[in-house]
Chain A
């Protein structure tokens, strides 16, 4: 028994060892009487049983991941080059680049790309800055700060469907928002018909989306802020550094990793815009709020053209890859 556990420990550690020194530094032969138990011995039987059980424990997760992530990802590639329909008695046929040619000529699709770009360009800086501000405001040891954290976080636990309905109501011409605008400007400013005007529909969706998700990123900024050592701030305080300098030279550099993460997650979240649109505007007015995912659902589900929707999904996926690798490149560690 004792010999087994010695070998177990050695080989348990082995897979982690190469990561430390990089690929070049392979670990030397492992200590112990026998590094790899041969079959036929008792140790070999134990190891084989362990391997089998290990695979059995991995299998359910692996099977489900293959079935519901790997296969659909491959299908997005495959189906985009066919004429597959959601429900059809005929098997899909290969049609080459037809779907992509159609996509290139589809004005609504280009419109959806432009809308998503608009949404992302405004939401990414706005939401990350607001969330950082909120994180700084609640990262203070004062009484009642926990209350504010809780309140800021409430919209995050509220579903996007609920938030969309609530704001749909508030955005009406005679709705709450316009009444508030009228009240604070003493009746001087008449609010627009937010969601029915192509000029204000997207800004309205943006405002609401930022309201819903800012609390989420506040928490991520907060966990980043808490990794910055407190003695840096103490030293700065002794030097009489101003609040801005403190932020500029301690907080901001200390948040590098968090910043990259937040940029990538908000961007991908912005590109995936769907629920708000489906509940509030259905892409209108005049396609001013239609998005990539909304287009994919319209064609792939409502018009049952799986192949065309797969082509849209593929373009979307490539876009996600480009954005995340571009951001990784731009914000890479400079050594």
Chain B
């Protein structure tokens, strides 16, 4: 017998097949990461011994933080972490200030030709960084910089192997400007006028009126700046040579020199991943919103 009338409202995605698919996918995405963290706690011999059984994904057997201790012996991991935290934090802070300031002027103030400027800024979005990276290496090697030498300032040439070469190219970002611009346009202009009645200048309006109301935009830009800064590999690979300036991602090269200890590799990769995962879990909504925001790029 066939049912002639639909029984209530059809709700796809709630049946057993959908649940099975959801759970299978969750396993596919979570198990490799679980394997990484679990293996980081085991001695090499046990990692290989467990591969053939479900124990590979379980924290069982001889667990210790020995691999983590060994990582700090093999790699200046603390230094690398510090470098990455510093470079990402400065890039994010400068990025938020520089891009929001530009977006504020383009959104709010009377500046001739701002429509053209905004169009030009957005045009730079079509260029993937990878196409510019190689000419950019040559270019930063020609740029001058002022270095403090004792009490006198000295003019040096070439940014290779510095901190600024890891930060400055990634501060200004067309997409961040675009996001701030969109957000500022949604804040009522009456607020500016009220502030101006009270004698506030434009910079005060930016700092005291508009920016405090732009938390979500700041979070989005901060996340979209932070992730590539923390994860950057191609760029520091080419422009950083000295050990004391290296970011975390370059640390992986240390593990394949003599004898490879996979337990240590997994400990190092866990170490540089867990801070980001913790941030993600804490600010989940903001992360997801920022990725969704990048969906308006086209």
1/0 contact string of A272-292 vs chain B (CB within 8 Å) = 101100110000000000000
Name the A residues within 8 Å of B63 (CB-CB): none
Instruction: Give the residue name and chain of the B residue nearest to A176 (CB).
Output: B51
Q: Are A279 and B252 in contact (CB under 8 A)?
A: yes
Contact A159 B231 (CB under 8 A): yes
**In chain A, residues 138-157, which have Cβ atoms closer than 8 Å to a Cβ of chain B?**
138-140, 142, 147-157
For the complex formed, measure the closest distance between the CB of B36 and the CB atoms of chain A, giving whole angstroms: 5
Interface pair A258/B13, CB less than 8 Å apart: no
Chain A contacts of B5 at CB under 8 A? 240
Q: Is the CB of B233 within 8 A of A68?
A: no
Residues B6 and A237 in contact, CB atoms below 8 Å apart: yes
Q: CB within 8 Å of A: which of B248-298?
A: 249, 252, 262, 265-266, 269, 272-273, 276-277, 279-281, 284, 287-288, 291-292, 294-295, 297-298
Q: Is the interface of B mostly helix, strand, loop or mixed?
A: helix
Minimum CB–CB distance from B53 to chain A (whole Å) comes to: 8
Q: In chain A between 210 and 267, which residues have their CB closer than 8 angstroms to a CB of chain B?
A: 211, 215-216, 219-220, 222-224, 234, 237-238, 240-241, 243, 246, 257-258, 260-261, 264-265
Using CB atoms, name the residue of chain A closest to B103. A61
Interface of A is mostly: helix
Interface range for A? 35 or more
- Residues 23-43 of chain B: 1 if any A CB is under 8 Å from the residue's CB, otherwise 0? 001101110110110000000
Contact across chains for A260 and B102 when beta carbons are under 8 A apart: no
Chain A residue at minimum C-beta to C-beta distance from B106: A58
How distant is the Cα of A166 from the Cα of B104 in the complex, in angstroms?
A: 43
Q: Mark A55-66, 1 if CB is under 8 A from B, else 0.
A: 101101111110
B residues apposed to A, CB below 8 Å: 5-6, 9-14, 18, 21-22, 25-26, 28-30, 32-33, 35-36, 48, 51-52, 56, 98-99, 101-102, 104-106, 108-112, 114-115, 117, 121, 124, 126-128, 130-139, 141, 168-172, 174, 177, 189, 193, 196-197, 201-203, 206, 227, 230-231, 233-234, 237-238, 249, 252, 262, 265-266, 269, 272-273, 276-277, 279-281, 284, 287-288, 291-292, 294-295, 297-298
